[in-house]
Each structure stands twice: as C-alpha cells, then as structure tokens.
Amino acid sequence: MAGTVTRDPLPAAGGGRQGAPLIVTEDAGLLDDLLRLCAAAGATPEVHHGVPEPKSGWEAAPLVLVGDDAARRVRGAPRRRGVVLIGRDQDDPGVWRRAVEIGADHVLMLPDGEQWLVDRIADVAEGVGRPALTVGVIGGRGGAGASTLACALAVTSAREGLRTLLVDADPLGGGLDVVLGGETAEGLRWPAFAASRGRVGGGALEESLPELHSLRVLSWDRGDCVAVPPQAVRAVLAAARRGGGTVVVDLPRRVDDGVAEVLAQLDLGLLVVPAELRAVAAAGRVASAVGMVLRDLRVAVRGPYAPGLDDREVARLLGLPLAGDVPVEPALQRPHGTGQPPGASGRGPLARFCKEFWERALVEARAA
C-alpha cells in the first residue's frame, strides 16, 4: 500500500552520488528489503541510522527512504521533497502522524508497495528528464516506403548527435536490422523481451540492443516468435522514451493490442502515402484506425504523382496535416542490405527531408 501526503514532484539530484537514494533505518529486516528493491531498480543507496552529517547529504539525495523505526530520529531534519516513510503495519494509524511530522510526501507499506517503490527508485537512478520525441511511421498501403523513411529518420537523428533508438514494431517485416545491414550484429531482439513485466530499465535496454550507424535498434529476429504481449511492449517502449533524444517506430498497417500500446506513447505519426488514388483510398482506412489512438497524425506523400494529384491534394483528401513530400532516390530502389542504409550519406533529397523534419519537430516539442 502506498499513500500520498503531498503531490510535490521528486527533486533533481544535486550533490552526492548521482541518483543514489538515501536509506535511514536501524531495522535490519527492513534494510534488507530496501537494499533488495534498490538492486532491482539498478541503484546503489547510501545507508544511515539517522540524519547524515553533514546534513547536505540529506538535502541532496534525490530520494529519502525513512523506516518507520527512524521517524523520531529524523524529525528535526530540514524539510524537503522526496521523503517516503516506510513501514509494515497497515493497521497503525499513527504512521500518518509521523509522516506529517517528518514532512514525508508518501507513506508506503511493504510488501504491498514494492513495485511502486522500485519504480520511484529507478526514476532517480536513471534520472527523469524530458522523454524522447517519439515518432511512428506507417505505410498507407503495402510497399509505401514506411520502413525506408523510418530508417532514414533514425539515421539522420543519430548523425545530428541525438541519442536515437529505432524500434521495429512489425514482426512480419523481415527485420529493420537487415535494412541497416546488421542482421548478424550482437544484441537482443524483440523475443527476448516477451516476458517483460512492470518496469524495464532504460539504460539496460539501450546497452542490450545492437548498435548500428550510431543508433540502437530493437528489431525482430528470424525465429518463429511473431508477437510480444502488450504489457511487454508498453514496458519496453516506456523505457526507450525515458532516455531522451528520439525514438522512431516502424509500424505495421494493422492495429492490434501491441500496436495500440505503441500508438499511445507516440508524440506524432507519419502516414506515408504514394500519390495515387488507390493508395489514398487505402491510406484513408489506415488513418481511420490509427487516428482512434493517435491524435497527431500527418501525411508524408511520396511521388511520382498521378495526374491531378499533388502533396497538398493528397493531404486534403485524407483530412490530415501535410508533413511534406518524401523524395524518391534511385539508390534506395536496390534491395535492402546491399549498401548504405537510407539517409546514411547525409546528402541527397531524402536526407534533407529528414533533417528538416527533425528541425521542425524538435522546435515544436520544445515549445510544447
């Protein structure tokens, strides 16, 4: 059980060991439990029996976990945010009075509140900053070039010096690691995360994935697994976003429970539509399904153009904002995995499109 006394946010770490929570208790059993939970969250805490000297250690810790046995000893400590009073007796009404006396934000009872506490410890261990700008790319019809654009956007983001993660959400697409020429690269693929529950560590996720062209890639392998439970998709993508920078997701054209979890975490989506009437008709059905979950969906039109169509007309027919015209480069017509990945050279119309897209999107994200 966890109870809230106030709703102030946790402070940013300032001084002391970065991301190290402070534990104050003399209860050996409680200390063992808290050390176990810190280890599960990837944090190494500092442990004291009372308010540390100098008191700057108390003030600088990003999170303070006070055992109920130590409430009396910290009563005179400077008031600060991010103090959690932890006990075991859920029938003790006095715990709320003691929480007020020490200025605690939360009262937590173990073992019921363990997952909540692991999440809070992991937040301070990883740092809680601006989440990654997360962009999904989906084809208006088969062969629209969504995977090519997703890869080009990710490669461009990495070349601009942003922390970048490319996520392949289409289990039947053959694997984006192949598009990037890294199908044999060491690292985990989606099936390894199928059993994920609760929180996934952002740093651990990033380090476990293949690194290709200065970005991390979460792709599918060539095995039989073609589905990951929605709760695992939610946990993995949330971890990817916590690291900041950008996340690019290549989406399938169907919306199942797993894809809905991805759509719910996107900041914006790009619907890639070839400029032909049949493709526009197909894209309308995709936009209708995706738009039920994703509010910011924009159309990226790909030539060559059928008579009577241009990018603005395609956007008008679909009733979507226009993200721009996606250039077609002859070099990209070769089979994937037979040369540089899309946008790798930094030159050409596709690379310019991607660079201009990120410039606009990042400005919009900062303004928001």
pLDDT of 1 reads 54
Domains of the chain: 2-126 (3.40.50.2300), 133-367 (3.40.50.300)
Closest CA to 26 of 74, 97, 95, 94: 74
pLDDT of 337 reads 47
Helix (H) or strand (E) run with residue 124 in it: helix 114-126
HSE-CB at 365 with a 13 A cutoff on CA atoms is 18
For all residues of the chain together, what is the average pLDDT? 88
Which residues are paired to 301 by β-bridges?
273, 325
Least confident window among 106-110, 172-176, 297-301: 172-176
Q: What percent of the chain is modeled with pLDDT above 70?
A: 90
The SS3 of residue 172 is coil
How would residue 226 be classed by pLDDT, with cut points 50, 70 and 90? confident
- The answer to whether 179 touches 148, Cβ cutoff 8 Å, is yes
Q: How is residue 256 annotated by DSSP?
A: -
Q: What is the per-residue pLDDT across 195-220, written as a single tens digit (0 to 9) for each?
A: 876 778 788 889 999 999 999 999 99
Q: Is 60 exceeded by the pLDDT of residue 146?
A: yes
- The answer to whether 303 touches 309, Cβ cutoff 8 Å, is no
Q: Is 50 exceeded by the pLDDT of residue 339?
A: yes
In this prediction, residues 290-303 reach a mean pLDDT of 94
HSE-CB at 100 with a 13 A cutoff on CA atoms is 4
- The answer to whether 46 touches 23, Cβ cutoff 8 Å, is yes
pTM: 0.74
